Each structure stands twice: as C-alpha cells, then as structure tokens.
Amino acid sequence: MTARIGVAFDGFSTTAEAIAVAKRAVEAGAHSLWMAEHLGYREAITTCAAFALQAPGPMLVPTAVSPYLWHAMPTAMALATLDELAPGKVVVALGVGNPLFLQESGQKLDKPIRAMREFIEAMRKLWSTEPAHMDGEFVRLAGARMAFKANPIPIYIAAMGPDMLKLTGRIADGVVLSAVTDMLGAAVAVLTVLVIQRLVRLLAPIDLSTVKLMRVVRVKDAPEPPLRTTRSWGSSR
C-alpha cells in the first residue's frame, strides 16, 4: 500500500503559525491537514478554511467535531461552505469529546451512540438539500433545508470502544483511532469495522484498498511549533 503523509494540528499555536506550518507541509508534499477541535483553543472548521485559502491542495479534516456541542444544521452549513473553498477535499471526523470538558461546557456524555447516529443522519439529510425532518432524542429538524449542495463529504468517527466501532462500521466512511497505541490494536479495531460493514452491506466482499489507517507520530527536533504527522495507508475513502 502507498504511504501518504499528513500533518495534525492541536490548535495550541496561533492561527498564523498554523498556516505557516501548513504551507511548509504542502510544499513538502503533505496529503492531508488534520485540525483538532480542543475546547478553548482554535476552532477546527474555521482553521481549515484558512488552510484552504492559504495552503490549498491537501485533504482538510476537522477533528473531532462533537455532536454534543454543535447542532447538525450549522455544522452541515459550515462543512459545505468549506467544500466550496476546497471542492472535493473535505472530510470531517466526529467524536463525542472528553467528558470533563463537556461538563465544563454544560453538557454531559449521555447515550453517545444515539447522539452520534442522529447527528450523522441529520447532516446527510441536510446535504441532500431536501427538507429534512427528524424527531430524535438529540436532533430535531422540522423541514430545515440547505439552499446549496456540496460535494460528498466523507464522515469518519473517532471511535472509542466496541459499540462506537460497530456504529462506525454501519454508517461511517472511516474510523480515526487516535487512542490506539500499537498497530495490533489498530488492526483489530479496523477489522471490527470491516466485518460490520460487510454484514451491513449484504456480505459484499471486503475491499482492502479502501482501508485507510492513520497513525500519529511525533517529529523529533521539529522547529516550533511542534508538528504531528499522520501516516496513511490506502485510499482516501
């Protein structure tokens, strides 16, 4: 499989510094730019929009947007707008978030599987540009619709635990395994997702060329601000 290199940003540096690093990364051949959504720091989708304008070319991945802190409608709008800046280059990684930080923001980690499922369903309905109706426990839509259509935006899930991995296999386009520390653990997690996908998709053959693994590694002796790189194997979808 072909290895592709991406760069991940934590949001701890200023936006100007992140843009400068992104430009250098793109010049060096980076395939993707991943922008983390750490509460209290730089916002992921806005920063990716800056990357689209100042360092165009790579895939842009806001990571990991939480359904507890964002409503599906403005999230769908923001990602579709980002797609206009970088057509066909947008992926979103969703994650429920850190329970402590959610609590500090007045939210609690309640029924994460249901919350994630409803959030993804709602965004996909909205991206269709048809009136969207949902009466979920976490997401309610009463005919909301988007007035412009985006390119297909893949949805990855930053999955923690077997139940979220199973949900990923059923409804997501990819999985982010940021908490996995060894390749054996990553392989087990990815195989879980693939098996669920195969069962859901009427026992269709598994195409390993569609598998994309991300592993975060630290770059030694990197200039400030420090870089995190991601190595990806396989296709982008």
Reported as a single tens digit per residue, the pLDDT across 19-47 is 999 999 999 999 999 999 999 999 999 99
Stretch 118-137: mean pLDDT, rounded?
Answer: 98
Could you state, in order of their start, the residue ranges of all structural domains in the chain? 3-233
Stretch 170-191: mean pLDDT, rounded?
Answer: 66
Reported as a single tens digit per residue, the pLDDT across 55-107 is 999 999 999 999 999 999 999 999 999 999 999 999 999 999 988 999 999 99
Q: Is the dihedral of CA 24, 37, 162, 119 positive or negative?
A: negative
- What's the CA gap between 53 and 62, in Å, rounded? 15
Residue 129 — left, alpha, or beta (φ > 0 → left; ψ -120 to 50 → alpha)? left
Choose the CATH number for 3-233 among 3.20.20.30, 3.30.300.30, 3.40.50.720, 3.40.50.300: 3.20.20.30
